[in-house]
Structure 1
Amino acid sequence: MSKTITRLFDNYADATNAVRELEGLGISHNDLSIVANNADKTHGEHVDGDHDNVNDHGDVGRGTSTGALLGGAGGLLAGLGLLAIPGLGPIVAAGWLAATAAGAGIGAAGGAATGSIVGALKNAGHTDEEAHVYSEGVRRGGSLVSAKVPDDLVSEAETVLQRNKSVDATTRGQAYRNSGWSSFDENAPAYTSEQVQRERSLYGNETSRI
């Protein structure tokens, strides 16, 4: 048996370090996924894709590659690809969660990918509240790591995620609601680079207590 564990990170470096540590525990890259906001093009040099093909609405244009989303031989991070999921805008992603959220759009003509990140998270076993907070967190500049973890590694995996400064979803959801947010809206405009940078600055020192 296994359990799906997902955590949000404000810092992309923390998220990728958590992925490497989870792989170090013996969790296959086939059971891992990362979805990271890339509105500010910070991660462009690491992915197979051209950010010039993503417009202001977060749509992926012709020539963008999403074929590596299921991970590469060198581990999950070797398979990072550029795509857009409604409401998130441009992201870099790899793994089963990204593939599920993108749905049948992966590999479609023009490289466009469409799907539901909230639906993918709920299908993975997360509550409606968790799914909406995690999705909104990515929209606002965060990085999401999700892992299908064997029961005997759950405790160690949770320790890895906490050690790498994952976000407390309950606290973050309350902060969003205090500013007028109610739920993730895939029809809302993607955050701009400037909005993402402002959002990240709000939570720079916050860590998880999960």
Structure 2
Amino acid sequence: MAQQTITRLYDTYDEAKKVVSALEEAGIPHSRISLIGNEHRDHAVHDGTTSDKAEGAEKGAGTGASIGTVVGGGAGLLAGIGALAIPGVGPVVAAGWLVATLTGAGVGAAVGGGAGGLVGSLTGAGVPENDAHVYAEGVRRGGNLVSVQADDAQAPVVQGILDTHRGVDTVARRAEYESGGWTGHDVAAGPYTRPVAGSDRL
């Protein structure tokens, strides 16, 4: 049976968590779900991660950071979330199959430059390159990515769940980024700094 990768970007970590929970409740194995969340930079730590883990990932963002248990445990995907740093994105919390493709290794390995960063991992999994650039930049700017590997039978269920929640319109978000001079995600980009209130958003 053919497999496809279905991915959505969410502006809030809470919305992404709800999506993951709904997917698991619908019977999608957590081994087929990934979550990469960047909202922990500005908010309290979620789901058992600690501020020490987030700080450790941030310190290692340029050179790589060690991952905790990030592939997911028996209690569901969110129970296995851990902190790591992605080149061109910075420190995130993450769990699931996409983490292994980003690091090129399993749990407990060190994150290095990665083969093409988040864009390369997403396109390697079948996500269109234009969308992958928006997803990676969205995570860099504080967004939260949910990506699911689904077979043909599961795909309609997965798409329905992802679309029921308030996901980002990638076409509109790309236009928004481009209006600020963005041309594509840069794996060498530094950490994103939110503009001061009253200034241009991008």
TM-score strictly above 0.5: yes
Are 1:52 and 2:55 an aligned pair? yes
Residue identity in the other structure for 1:47? T
Alignment match, 2:18: 17
User: Shift of the alpha carbon at 1:127?
Assistant: 1.3
User: Shift of the alpha carbon at 1:68?
Assistant: 1.3
Higher mean Cα deviation, 2-11 or 43-52? 43-52
Alignment match, 2:41: 39
**Cα distance between partner residues in 1 of 2:128 and 2:73:** 30
- Asked if the contact 1:8–1:145 (Cα under 8 Å) also holds between the matched residues in 2, the reply is yes
Are 1:138 and 2:129 an aligned pair? no
The 1:113–1:45 alpha-carbon spacing in structure 2 relative to 1, beyond 3 Å, is farther
The 1:10–1:67 alpha-carbon spacing in structure 2 relative to 1, beyond 3 Å, is same
Alignment match, 1:206: none
Structure 1 gap segments, 5+ residues each = 203-210
- Asked if the contact 2:69–2:107 (Cα under 8 Å) also holds between the matched residues in 1, the reply is no
User: Shift of the alpha carbon at 1:112?
Assistant: 4.3
Higher mean Cα deviation, 144-153 or 74-83? 144-153
**Is the helix fraction higher in 1 or 2?**
1
Percent identity, aligned pairs only, is 41
**Cα distance between partner residues in 2 of 1:190 and 1:56:** 11
User: Shift of the alpha carbon at 1:50?
Assistant: 2.2
Alignment match, 1:159: 160
Higher mean Cα deviation, 4-13 or 52-61? 52-61
Please, what is the CA RMSD of the aligned residues?
Answer: 2.5
**Cα distance between partner residues in 1 of 2:73 and 2:80:** 4
Residue identity in the other structure for 1:52? E
Alignment match, 2:72: 71
Alignment match, 1:119: 120
- Asked if the contact 1:106–1:113 (Cα under 8 Å) also holds between the matched residues in 2, the reply is no
- TM-score normalised by L of structure 1: 0.82
SS of the aligned residue for 2:104 comes to helix
User: Shift of the alpha carbon at 1:66?
Assistant: 1.5
SS of the aligned residue for 1:185 comes to coil
Structure 2 gap segments, 5+ residues each = none
Alignment match, 1:89: 90
SS of the aligned residue for 2:154 comes to helix
SS of the aligned residue for 2:6 comes to strand
The 1:28–1:105 alpha-carbon spacing in structure 2 relative to 1, beyond 3 Å, is closer
**Cα distance between partner residues in 1 of 2:94 and 2:145:** 9
User: Shift of the alpha carbon at 1:52?
Assistant: 3.0
**Cα distance between partner residues in 2 of 1:197 and 1:44:** 26
SS of the aligned residue for 1:182 comes to coil
- TM-score normalised by L of structure 2: 0.85
Residue identity in the other structure for 1:114? G
The 1:71–1:168 alpha-carbon spacing in structure 2 relative to 1, beyond 3 Å, is same
CA deviations over 1:90-133 (Å, ceiling 9, x no partner): 1000001122112249634xx44431111100011011101100
The 1:55–1:166 alpha-carbon spacing in structure 2 relative to 1, beyond 3 Å, is closer
The 1:52–1:197 alpha-carbon spacing in structure 2 relative to 1, beyond 3 Å, is farther
